[in-house]
């Protein structure tokens, strides 16, 4: 469907107690809106943008998940290991009293 043939759509949303509407304009292409900076990025002062970029790219980076079989083994063995460690600590503490 060509952008000229699209009819303007209204989308409503609610944030807390406030309701608002978003109206799409047929002249605006999706590629132009994808390249635009988000409003939050423009609100960050220029000296802090590198810190914000580091925050988004490094700190909040998606991590790969381990295989399901490994996760099952961890979920089964972790409580047993914690219990064994607790019993060992109680044993060593009881020797010093």
pLDDT at position 11 over 70: yes
Helices (H), strands (E): how many in the chain?
4, 2
- 27-57: pLDDT as tens digits: 655 555 555 555 665 677 888 888 888 888 8
Q: Say what the pLDDT of residue 21 is.
A: 84
pLDDT (average), residues 60-72: 83
| CB-CB contact of 52 with 43 (8 Å) | no
Q: How many CB atoms lie within 10 A of CB 26?
A: 13
């Amino acid at each position: 469907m060509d952008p000229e043939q699209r009819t303007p759509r209204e989308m409503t949303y609610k944030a807390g107690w406030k309701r608002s509407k978003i109206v799409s304009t047929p002249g605006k292409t999706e590629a132009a809106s994808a390249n635009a900076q988000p409003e939050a990025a423009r609100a960050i002062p220029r000296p802090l943008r590198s810190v914000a970029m580091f925050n988004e790219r490094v700190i909040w980076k998606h991590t790969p998940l381990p295989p399901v079989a490994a996760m099952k083994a961890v979920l089964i063995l972790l409580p047993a290991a914690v219990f064994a460690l607790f019993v060992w600590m109680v044993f060593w503490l009881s020797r010093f009293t």
